[in-house]
Chain A
Amino acid sequence: MFRTSTFRLTVIFSATFALSTLLLFAFIYWQTTVVETERVNAALVRDADAIANAPPLEILRSVTIRLAADFHRVTYASLFTVNGHPLAGNLDRLPEGVPLDGRAHRTNIVMPESGGSNREVVMVVARRLANGQLLVLGRSIDSLDNLRAVVMRALEEGGTPMVLLSLLAGAILSRRAQRQIKSVHLAAERIMRGNLQERLPVRGNADDFGRLTNSVNHLLDEIERLVEEAKNTTDNIAHDLRTPLTRVRSRLERARETAQTRAELEEMVDRAIVSLDQTLRIITALLRISQLEDGRRRAAFSMVDLKTIVQEIGDLYEPFAEENDVRFSIEAQDITAVLGDPDLLSEAIANIVDNAIKFTPAGGWVRLSVEQNGRIPAITVTDSGPGIPSEEREAVMRRLYRSDKSRHIDGCGLGLSLVDAIIKLHDFRLVIKDGDAGIGCVFQLTCGRSQ
C-alpha cells in the first residue's frame, strides 16, 4: 500500500495540512508576542512622554487618573522621589533591572498584597522627570504571555495528534481509492479472460472515479461491439470462402468422373479455376482492407488530379455501361489537387461506378461528376437504380455485406468495404443519399475535411 500513488498523494496532503496549521500557530504566536507587545510598548512610551511634559501639578493627577481608569487591573503607574521612595501610585518600589531611559523593558513585578506569590510579567517604562522625580508606567502582559503559553502547549500537545490524525485520514482515503482501483483492475482482468459482457460497477456519485468508470464501461461497450463484428465478419468470410471452394471441389470431382474427352476435362478445370480465382480475390481484398486500415500507405501520398482520374474511369466504364443498356454520362470540372494515392482513389471511384452500373436496371442512367465544392473537390455518382434504404447505408460498407436485393448480382460484397477503407485512409467523407425525387441513389465523395 505504501508504494501506491494514492498513499503518496495523501502523505503530501497530510504534510501540507500539518504545515499550514503550523504556520497558523506561528502566526498567532507572532501576533501575540511580538505585535501586541510592540503596541503596548509604544503606548507606554507615548503616555510617559505625555505625562512628563505636562505641567508639574498635572503629573500627579495623571498618574491617579490612570490608575482609576484601570478596570482590568493591568496598569501600573507610580511616582518616586529622586531617591526612589514611593510618592504615589501602586508600586511600592522601583521595578528591578529597569533602566531610567524612557524606553519599554520587560520585567516581573510582585504585587505586595499577594505576599510574594502573585508575580506578573509587565512592560515598564521608567524616566526621570524635570524635577528629578521618577515616573514609572507599566502594563501587565500576563494575558498575552498566557496566550502564548497556551498556543505553545496547543502546539506541543496537539501537534502530534494532528499529524497522526491527518496520516490516518490519509491512510483511510487512500485505502478507499485503492479499493476502487483494485475493483476496476480485477474487473478488467475478468473481462480480459473472456467475460466481455461484464461492466464495472458504477456508484451513484458523479466524482472523478464515477466518470472514469463510465468511460471504461463505454470502452467495453465498444470493444464488445467490435469483437462481435469481427466474429460476424469471420463467420461471413468463412462462409463466403467455403462456398466457392466447395464448388471447386465438386466440379473437380465431377470432372474426374464424368469427363470423356480432354476438352471436356479442360473446360471443367477452367471453371474450377474461375471459382478459385474468385476465392483468391476475396482473400486478397480482405488482406488489402486490413492493410489499408493500418494507415501505412499514407507515407506514399502525392498530389492527385481527380479530374483526370474521373475521366479515365469514365472512359473505362463507358462500354460496359453501354452493354448493360445504361446511359453513362461524365461531367468533369477543373478542381484543386488533393493529397492521396492515385491508384487507390481510382479504385474507390471505379468501385462506386461499377456498383452503380451493375445495380441500375437496363434503360436507366448513371452520372459520374467531379466538381469543386468550395475549397474541396467532390465526386458524385448518381444512378436511377433501386437505391439503398437508409437503414442499410451503414451496413453496406461492412465487409461481405449483401442486402437481400443484391444477392443475385455477381461479385463478392467487398467492393464497398474496400472503398470505405480507402476513404478512411484519405480522411475523406462518403455520403449515400436518395436521388432527386426519391429516384435512385447518390454516392457523394467529399475529398477533404469540410470547414
Chain B
Amino acid sequence: MGTAQSPFNALPIHHAAQTSLHTARLLLIEDDAETAEDIVSDFGARGYAVVHVANGLEGLSQARANDYTLVIVDRMLPGLDGLSILETLRREHFQFPVLVLSALGDVDNRVRGLKAGGDDYLTKPFAFAELAARVEALLRRPGVTRETTLRAGPLEMDLIDRKVCRGERSIDLLPREFKLLEFLVRRPGQVMTRAMLLEDVWNYRFLSETNLVDVHIGKLRRKIDAPGETPMIHTIRGTGFMLCVPA
C-alpha cells in the first residue's frame, strides 16, 4: 500500500484516495489575488488540479462550460456575487459540491450560504489545512447507505443496537462517544479538523481555545486503541484527527 507524503504537511494520502484526488478538477472563483495564489499552490501541492478565475461572470460560464468535481467560490466577487452564482448553478441542476468562502462581515453567514445551495462554508481567515480537509471531505462524502453496521478494519459498529466491538473485544461507549466514532468511521483516511467535528458532532459553530475535541478524542482513543493494538485514531499535527484502517 503506497502512502505519499505531501511536502507541506504530514498528511498521509492513501493510494485509493490519491486516485480520486488526482482526477478531481477544482474550480476556484476568488478575486483576491494573494488568497487565490496561495490556494492554487497549496492544492496543487496536494495533487489537485485547480482552475482559478477572478471574476464572477467568468466563473459562472467556466462552471457551466467545463466539468468540475467541486467549486470553491467567494461571496464577494466583481461581476456577479458568489451566492448568485451558486443559486444559478443549482437552478441549472449542477450537482457538484460547492464550498463558499466569506469574509467576516457577513451577517447571516453560514445559513444563507447553505440555503443558496452550498455544501460547506468557511470564513476568512482560515487555515489552508482547514480548507483542504473540508474540500477532501466534500469530495469523498460518504454516500447515503441503509447499512445497519459500519465496518472499518477490526472495528464494527451496530447502528441499531448502538454497540461497538473491535475484533473480539466489545467496547462500551457513551452516546456522544458513539456519535463521534461513527463520524470518523464513515470517513476513513480523511482528516477531520476540530472545527468540522465540533460542527457535525456537537452542532457547535465556534472554535474555542480550549482543546475540547482533543479531550473527547483522547477518551475515545483510550477505549478504541487498547494497549498492544494498532492505533486507529491518529492525530494529524496542525490539522486534526483521522481514523485509519490498519493495514
**Interface residues of A, Cβ cutoff 8 Å to B:** 270, 273, 277-278, 280-281, 284, 287-288, 291, 296-297, 299-300, 312-313, 315-317, 319-320, 323, 343, 346-347, 350-351, 354, 358, 410-412
B residues near A280, Cβ cutoff 8 Å:
125
Contact of B176 among A281, A297, A315, A358 (CB under 8 A): A315
Given contacts A320-B215, A323-B215, A354-B210, contact A270 B237 (CB under 8 A): yes
Given contacts A300-B111, A316-B212, A354-B210, contact A343 B205 (CB under 8 A): yes
Given contacts A300-B111, A320-B215, A350-B208, contact A315 B104 (CB under 8 A): no
CA distance A313 to B208 in the complex (A): 12
Interface string of B207-220 (1 = CB under 8 A from A): 11111100110110
Given contacts A273-B238, A297-B107, contact A343 B216 (CB under 8 A): no
- Residues B107 and A320 in contact, CB atoms below 8 Å apart: no
B residues near A351, Cβ cutoff 8 Å:
208
CA distance A273 to B237 in the complex (A): 12
B residues near A291, Cβ cutoff 8 Å:
104-105
A residues near B210, Cβ cutoff 8 Å:
320, 354, 358, 411
A residues near B206, Cβ cutoff 8 Å:
343, 346-347, 350
Q: A277-B127, A313-B204, A354-B208 are in contact. List 8 more A-B contacts (CB 8 A).
A: A291-B105, A299-B107, A312-B203, A346-B203, A347-B206, A350-B208, A410-B209, A411-B209
- Residues B105 and A299 in contact, CB atoms below 8 Å apart: no
A residues near B105, Cβ cutoff 8 Å:
291
Closest to A274 in B: B238
> How many residues in B have their beta carbons less than 8 Å from beta carbons of A?
26
Q: Supply 21 A–B pairs (Cβ within 8 Å), ascending by A.
A: A270-B237, A273-B238, A278-B209, A284-B125, A299-B108, A312-B203, A315-B202, A316-B202, A319-B218, A320-B215, A323-B218, A343-B205, A346-B203, A346-B204, A346-B205, A346-B206, A347-B205, A350-B206, A410-B209, A411-B210, A412-B209
A residues near B212, Cβ cutoff 8 Å:
316-317, 319-320
Q: Return A414 CB to nearest CB of chain B, in Å.
A: 10
- Residues A281 and B104 in contact, CB atoms below 8 Å apart: no
CA distance A412 to B210 in the complex (A): 11
CA distance A284 to B124 in the complex (A): 10
CA distance A358 to B237 in the complex (A): 25
- Residues A284 and B111 in contact, CB atoms below 8 Å apart: no
Given contacts A315-B176, A320-B210, contact A300 B202 (CB under 8 A): no
CA distance A166 to B81 in the complex (A): 67
- Residues B107 and A300 in contact, CB atoms below 8 Å apart: yes
Closest to A302 in B: B111
The 10 closest A-B pairs by CB, nearest first: A343-B205, A319-B215, A300-B108, A347-B206, A296-B107, A411-B209, A320-B215, A316-B202, A315-B176, A319-B219
